[in-house]
Structure 1
Amino acid sequence: MRRSTGEEVRPVAAVTLKDVAERAGVSIKTVSNVVRNAPRVSEATRKRVLKAVRELGYRPNPSARRLRTGHSGLIGLAVPDLATPYFAELAQHVRAEAARLDLTVLIEETSGDATEELRLATGVGASLLDGVILSPLGVSPDELAAVANEFPLVLLGERSYARDQVGADHVLIDNVAAAREATAHLAALGRTRIAAIGVDRLASATSRQRLEGFQLALHEAGLTYDPRLAPAIEEFDRRNGLLAMRALAALPAGTRPDAVFCFSDLLAVGAQRALFEAGSHIPDDVAVASIDGSDEALYNTPSLTSVVPDKAAIASLAVKCLAGRVRSDAPLPFEVHTAPHWLHARESTNGGRQRLCP
């Protein structure tokens, strides 16, 4: 190696975990925990180790780890949109669970593009990854089935195919039951014209399952499903929630909803904005409930009644499934894991002012 002046220099020996440990006065295991951002290290120790890392110029070497163990310790998490609170919060849980298992997470955003999802599902472009946790949106089950056996893969989210069709572990919540519980909560308040915001034009698995749960709850409450109260949307975002609720608020008097179930927290936030613009009071005029259990629902005004998927459990199941498949020398049966969920009733259906309990 030569500098631009032509002066010859000798290569510098790679700094090891042992070097950092000796400089910081801690064990090699402690250095490893700090480098992986594991939660079980005191702040004072973390600062001391990071200071030694900077001073020595230490850089982790996943290639060396792969040569030593056969695995890099790197896994991927691929989600459609990191700007969506649900996926951002889920990513935090995945990182925390991975750290507990001595793994590092590379997070990718797919924008729901089928080609990008398929690329990540096969490990292409990230040769050091041991496996991937993927929340598919655009790629078809047949495309996933064609590559699932080539690379360790765990799928998140809705499942619209037979258990053995894809050949990958799957972690999800019961969307039908979740939507049913949210809608039943609205019906139990005495609301009789309950709208649904989330029937997307592409009829995604999420939309189909949550619509099914919505309709089941209506039937059980003795209410009739009215398609006029289920305007079609394009995306599960605030803008589409706003536009859909504006359309519902513009219906003739006597046909407008007195409650609305939104298929995501972001749709509900948009819907609440439209109700505010229309001068409607939540929940006196229109009660609002949704699914996601994001921090946005908690801190919104009024706070939003939402079905809360156990994101920590989803992350734990997904990471453990992937780690087990990566580290196993024998083929493992594919499994479908259903994480728990619960309804958290807040101001958007209960009324009044409730003290925030994060």
Structure 2
Amino acid sequence: MTAVTLKDVAMRAGVSIKTVSNVVRDAPKVSADTRERVMRAVRELGYRPNPSARRLRTGRSGLIALAVPDLTTPYFAELAHHIRAEATALGLTVLIEETLGDPAEELRLATGVGASLLDGVILSPLHVTTTELAPVADAFPLVLLGERSYQRDHVVADHVLIDNVAAARDVTGHLIGLGRTRIAAIGADVKASATSRQRLEGFQLALHEAGLPFDPRLAPTITEFNRGNGLLAMRALLALPPDIRPDAVFCFSDLLAVGAQRAVHEAALSVPGDIALAGIDGSEEALYSTPSLTTLVPDKGAIASLAVKCLAARIRSAEPLPFEVHVAPHWLDVRESTAAVRRPLTL
């Protein structure tokens, strides 16, 4: 098939080739109506910008990279879906990389591996430090995802995140509101990741506010946020003496909660009758589990939009921009794992 050209898009949209070029490059001073008409023609014709021609004309390729720890994790898979959609709307193409949490790989990708091709990188780091990333962000367009501890006056890169302390506090407060008093946490991380530390902080804060003690025996350590660790941690909690065994568990990810739910089932106990369960991620898997899982939902669409637009602005700007931290919203979706009433699945 003959490749679709700017001229083809211009004819379909009823505008000039120059206007189509401005829209594809996300140039300013294009009306919203015209932009929508051109993008509709782009979608209908399946137009794809020519990276080589674009680079010769603008010095940019239109290629960005998304680097995440684990593509098998539903949260990152769903986030990648949103980021690709946001990038496509801005005429950008996304290359997706998997770091497996290797700090050397995270740092390598943050520098824009094959930087002659990439215009910028969105990175969700697990172990590389902000000190290591600071010089990279000064030299190459970079946006970070996920949790980091920042002082207000020392932001070393653009960053998009949720308020993990508040999120964990909300989930734990919900479990306390059910009248549960022996609440466990699965997700304390022996690797001391920022995500784990902040969610543990929010968990402990909610307990303190309710006048409940924090019992370290109810916060077993794990190595990774996956189903297997959730299963093993829940088995350990169920092996505790009856007067210590939890009546509610807050899991620091939905995958941990799915594994924990399996352990409760193996012990012939019920969720939420014997043990109420809740997670964080808002994953589709949580919706289809039995019973459906109460989960704290980060607004993945907002995270993707903020990250892509922030990176695009940094790529386009001829002058250095100040680094910013953007906090995306979150909400609690209460489902069957903390509510005794069974509800039909609504799609």
Q: Does the pair score TM above 0.5? A: yes
1:262 aligns to what? Answer: 251
2:5 aligns to what? Answer: 17
- After superposition, the C-alpha distances for 1:249-279 in whole angstroms (9 at most, x for unaligned) are 1111221100000000000000000000001
Q: Provide closer, same or farther for how the CA distance between residues 163 and 77 of structure 1 changes in structure 2, counting only shifts above 3 A.
A: farther
Cα distance in structure 2, aligned partners of 1:308 and 1:146: 33
Contact 1:169/1:336 (CA < 8 Å) preserved in 2?
Answer: yes
Deviation of 1:61 after TM superposition, in Å, equals 3.1
Moved more, 320-329 or 163-172: 163-172
1:224 aligns to what? Answer: 213
Deviation of 1:124 after TM superposition, in Å, equals 2.2
1:186 aligns to what? Answer: 175
Q: One-letter code of the match for 2:233? A: A
Cα distance in structure 2, aligned partners of 1:106 and 1:263: 29
- After superposition, the C-alpha distances for 1:215-263 in whole angstroms (9 at most, x for unaligned) are 0001111110000011111100000000000000111122110000000
Secondary structure, in 3 states, of the residue corresponding to 1:214? helix
Secondary structure, in 3 states, of the residue corresponding to 1:219? helix
Contact 2:155/2:323 (CA < 8 Å) preserved in 1?
Answer: no
Q: Please, which of 102, 115, 121 is the counterpart of residue 132 of structure 1?
A: 121
2:237 aligns to what? Answer: 248
Deviation of 1:60 after TM superposition, in Å, equals 5.3
Cα distance in structure 1, aligned partners of 2:310 and 2:7: 34
Q: Aligned pair 1:155/2:144, yes or no?
A: yes
1:77 aligns to what? Answer: 66
Contact 1:163/1:336 (CA < 8 Å) preserved in 2?
Answer: no
Cα distance in structure 2, aligned partners of 1:62 and 1:330: 23
Equivalent pairs counted in the alignment come to: 328
Contact 1:305/1:346 (CA < 8 Å) preserved in 2?
Answer: yes
Q: One-letter code of the match for 1:196? A: A
Q: Aligned pair 1:311/2:303, yes or no?
A: no
Contact 1:234/1:240 (CA < 8 Å) preserved in 2?
Answer: yes
Larger Rg: 1 or 2? 1
Deviation of 1:75 after TM superposition, in Å, equals 1.1
Contact 1:63/1:128 (CA < 8 Å) preserved in 2?
Answer: no
Q: Aligned pair 1:145/2:145, yes or no?
A: no
Cα distance in structure 2, aligned partners of 1:313 and 1:138: 24
Contact 1:317/1:337 (CA < 8 Å) preserved in 2?
Answer: yes
Matches of residues 39-50 of structure 1 in structure 2 within 5 Å?
41=40, 46=44, 49=45
2:161 aligns to what? Answer: 172
Query: Structure 1: which 5+ runs fail to align?
Result: 1-13, 54-58
TM-score computed with the length of structure 2 as normaliser: 0.88
Q: Provide closer, same or farther for how the CA distance between residues 89 and 190 of structure 1 changes in structure 2, counting only shifts above 3 A.
A: same
